Structure 1
Amino acid sequence: MGNWIGRTFRKLHLDYHQPAWMEGVAGAFTLEEARKQAGMFKEAGIEAVEFFAYDHYGHAFYPSRIAPVHPNLKSDYTGLMSRALKEAGIRTILYLNAFTTIHLHKNHPEWMRRNEDGTMPRGAWLQHDASHVCIATGYLKEYFLPLLQEAVRRHEPDGIWIDAGSWMVEYPCYCQSCHERYKEDMGCELPTGPMPEAGVELDHPDWIRWRLWRRGLIAPYVKDLIRTIKEISPETLVAENNLGKYFYGVPKIEQGQFVKWLTPRELGLDWLSCDPVHFGANHEMIFSREGRYQATTGLPFDYMNERFHGWGEWQIRSHTDWKLEMATILAVGARGFFADQPYPDGTVEPTVYRDLKQVYSFVKDREAFTFGAQPVPEVAVLASLASNVLGPTAGAEWGRDKHWGALPKYRTDRVDGASLWLTEAGIQHLIYDEETLRNQIDRQSLVIIPDQCLLEEATITALEQYVEAGGQLIVTGRSGLWNEQGERRATDPFATLLGLSRTGVLPAPLHYWRADPNMAAHMEYGQIRLQAWGTAMELAMGNAESLADLLEPVDTVWRSEARERSDWRHYTTVGAAPAGAKVAASAVTLHAYGKGQAMYLNGDLFALYYLEGHRLIREWLTSCLDIMLPAAARKIQVRKPLHVEMNMTERTTEAGHETIVHFLNYFAQKRPGYVIHNEEIPPIYDLEFRMRMDTMPTRVVLQPEGTELVWDWDGEHVNVRIPCLELHAIVHIQGSNAKEEVACGL
Structure 2
Amino acid sequence: MKFRQVHLDFHTSEAIEGIGRDFSKQQFQGMLKTGHVDSITIFSKCHHGWAYHPTTANQMHPHLNFDLLGAQIEAAHEIGVKTPVYLSAGLDERLARKHPQWLIRNQQEQISWTADFMTPGYHQFCMNTPYLDVLTLQVEEVVKKYDVDGIFLDIVGVRECYCQYCVAEIRSQGSDPRNIQDMKKLWEQTYARYANRMNETVHAVKPGLPVFHNSSHVDRGRRDLAHVNTHLELESLPTGGWGYDHFPLSARYAQTLGMDFLGMTGKFHTSWGEFGGYKHPNALRYETALSIANGARCSIGDQLHPGGQMDHATYSLIGEAYREVEAKEEWCRDTTAMADIALLSVEAALWETGVDPHNQHMHHHDTGAVRVLLEGHYLFDVVDLQADLSKYKVVILPDAISITESIKTKLTAFLAGGGKILATGRSGLSPDGTGFEFDLGVEYQDVSPFRPSYFRPNFELPSLRTASFVMYTEGQNTVPTTDGIVLGSKENSYFNRDLFTFCSHQHTPSDLQESGTGMAEGQDGIYIAWNVFEDYATKGSLAVKEIICYALDRLLSNNKSLITNLPAQGVTTLQIQKNSNRWVNHLLYASPVRRGQGVEVIEDIPPLINTEVTVAAAEQVQDVYLAPQNLSLSFSQVNGLVTYTIPEWSCHQMVVIQF
Q: Shift in Å at residue 99 of structure 1?
A: 1.2
For the residues of structure 2 that align with 1:569 and 1:146, how far apart are their CA atoms? 67
Identify the match of residue 495 of structure 1 among 437, 460, 463.
437
- 1:176 aligned to 2:176? no
Identify the match of residue 534 of structure 1 among 456, 473, 476.
473
SS across alignment from 1:435: coil
Q: Shift in Å at residue 83 of structure 1?
A: 2.4
Counterpart in the other structure of 1:97: 88
Segment drifting more, 227-236 vs 528-537: 528-537
Counterpart residue type for residue 291 of structure 2: I
- 1:642 aligned to 2:642? no
- 1:143 aligned to 2:134? yes
How is 1:135-284 mapped onto 2 (pairs within 5 angstroms)? 135-140=127-132, 142-166=133-157, 169-170=158-159, 172-183=160-171, 187-190=175-178, 206=180, 210=183, 214-215=187-188, 217-242=190-215, 245-247=218-220, 249-250=221-222, 262-263=223-224, 267-277=227-237, 279-281=239-241, 284=244
**Would the aligned equivalents of 1:145 and 1:225 in 2 still touch at CA under 8 Å?**
yes
How is 1:322-337 mapped onto 2 (pairs within 5 angstroms)? 322-337=284-299
Counterpart in the other structure of 2:250: 290
For the residues of structure 2 that align with 1:680 and 1:522, how far apart are their CA atoms? 31
- 1:303 aligned to 2:228? no
Identify the match of residue 720 of structure 1 among 635, 644, 654.
644
Q: Shift in Å at residue 542 of structure 1?
A: 4.4
- 1:676 aligned to 2:603? no
Q: Shift in Å at residue 264 of structure 1?
A: 5.6
1:88-110 CA distance string (max 9 Å, x none) = 33211101111112232444333
With over 3 angstroms needed to count, the CA separation of the structure-2 counterparts of 1:470 and 1:458, relative to structure 1, is: same
Counterpart in the other structure of 2:123: 131
Counterpart in the other structure of 1:525: 464
Counterpart in the other structure of 2:385: 434
Identify the match of residue 60 of structure 1 among 31, 51, 58.
51
For the residues of structure 2 that align with 1:35 and 1:456, how far apart are their CA atoms? 61
For the residues of structure 2 that align with 1:499 and 1:220, how far apart are their CA atoms? 49
Q: Shift in Å at residue 342 of structure 1?
A: 1.4
**Would the aligned equivalents of 1:242 and 1:274 in 2 still touch at CA under 8 Å?**
no
1:512-547 CA distance string (max 9 Å, x none) = 2222xxx23455535322222233334476454432
With over 3 angstroms needed to count, the CA separation of the structure-2 counterparts of 1:174 and 1:534, relative to structure 1, is: same
- 1:88 aligned to 2:86? no
Identify the match of residue 578 of structure 1 among 509, 526, 539.
509
Counterpart in the other structure of 1:588: 519
**Would the aligned equivalents of 1:11 and 1:47 in 2 still touch at CA under 8 Å?**
yes
**Would the aligned equivalents of 2:495 and 2:508 in 1 still touch at CA under 8 Å?**
no
SS across alignment from 1:633: coil
**Would the aligned equivalents of 1:97 and 1:164 in 2 still touch at CA under 8 Å?**
yes
**Would the aligned equivalents of 1:690 and 1:719 in 2 still touch at CA under 8 Å?**
yes
For the residues of structure 2 that align with 1:476 and 1:55, how far apart are their CA atoms? 46
SS across alignment from 1:103: helix
Counterpart in the other structure of 1:469: 417
For the residues of structure 2 that align with 1:271 and 1:498, how far apart are their CA atoms? 40
TM-score, scaled relative to structure 1: 0.81
For the residues of structure 2 that align with 1:343 and 1:503, how far apart are their CA atoms? 63
Q: Shift in Å at residue 153 of structure 1?
A: 1.2
For the residues of structure 2 that align with 1:269 and 1:672, how far apart are their CA atoms? 37
Q: Shift in Å at residue 339 of structure 1?
A: 1.9
Q: Shift in Å at residue 682 of structure 1?
A: 0.9
With over 3 angstroms needed to count, the CA separation of the structure-2 counterparts of 1:710 and 1:125, relative to structure 1, is: farther
**Would the aligned equivalents of 2:625 and 2:633 in 1 still touch at CA under 8 Å?**
yes
**Would the aligned equivalents of 1:96 and 1:163 in 2 still touch at CA under 8 Å?**
yes
Counterpart in the other structure of 1:79: 70
With over 3 angstroms needed to count, the CA separation of the structure-2 counterparts of 1:495 and 1:121, relative to structure 1, is: closer
SS across alignment from 2:252: helix
1:409-434 CA distance string (max 9 Å, x none) = 94222112111111111111111111
Counterpart residue type for residue 661 of structure 1: N
**Would the aligned equivalents of 2:150 and 2:210 in 1 still touch at CA under 8 Å?**
yes
Counterpart in the other structure of 1:398: none
Q: Shift in Å at residue 480 of structure 1?
A: 6.1
Identity of aligned residues (%): 23
Q: Tell me the matched-pair count.
A: 652
With over 3 angstroms needed to count, the CA separation of the structure-2 counterparts of 1:494 and 1:185, relative to structure 1, is: farther
Identify the match of residue 729 of structure 1 among 642, 653, 657.
653
With over 3 angstroms needed to count, the CA separation of the structure-2 counterparts of 1:377 and 1:156, relative to structure 1, is: same
How is 1:556-635 mapped onto 2 (pairs within 5 angstroms)? 557=497, 573=505, 575-580=506-511, 584-592=515-523, 597-630=524-557, 632-635=558-561
With over 3 angstroms needed to count, the CA separation of the structure-2 counterparts of 1:432 and 1:609, relative to structure 1, is: same
Counterpart in the other structure of 2:336: 374
**Would the aligned equivalents of 2:350 and 2:356 in 1 still touch at CA under 8 Å?**
no
For the residues of structure 1 that align with 2:625 and 2:225, how far apart are their CA atoms? 35
Gaps of 5+ in 1: 192-205, 251-261, 395-408, 483-488, 560-567, 736-746
**Would the aligned equivalents of 1:554 and 1:580 in 2 still touch at CA under 8 Å?**
yes
- 1:478 aligned to 2:478? no
**Would the aligned equivalents of 1:226 and 1:238 in 2 still touch at CA under 8 Å?**
yes
For the residues of structure 2 that align with 1:538 and 1:444, how far apart are their CA atoms? 30
Q: Shift in Å at residue 55 of structure 1?
A: 1.0
Segment drifting more, 536-545 vs 61-70: 536-545
With over 3 angstroms needed to count, the CA separation of the structure-2 counterparts of 1:323 and 1:239, relative to structure 1, is: same
TM-score, scaled relative to structure 2: 0.91
For the residues of structure 2 that align with 1:39 and 1:729, how far apart are their CA atoms? 29
How is 1:699-710 mapped onto 2 (pairs within 5 angstroms)? 699-710=623-634
Counterpart residue type for residue 311 of structure 1: W
Gaps of 5+ in 2: none
Counterpart residue type for residue 134 of structure 1: C
Instruction: Indicate the RMSD between aligned Cα atoms, in angstroms.
Output: 3.0
1:547-602 CA distance string (max 9 Å, x none) = 2222333247568xxxxxxxx966554x433323565542212111xxxx321122
Identify the match of residue 317 of structure 1 among 269, 279, 295.
279
Counterpart in the other structure of 1:444: 392
**Would the aligned equivalents of 1:385 and 1:434 in 2 still touch at CA under 8 Å?**
no
For the residues of structure 2 that align with 1:556 and 1:302, how far apart are their CA atoms? 47
Counterpart in the other structure of 1:254: none
For the residues of structure 2 that align with 1:388 and 1:284, how far apart are their CA atoms? 24
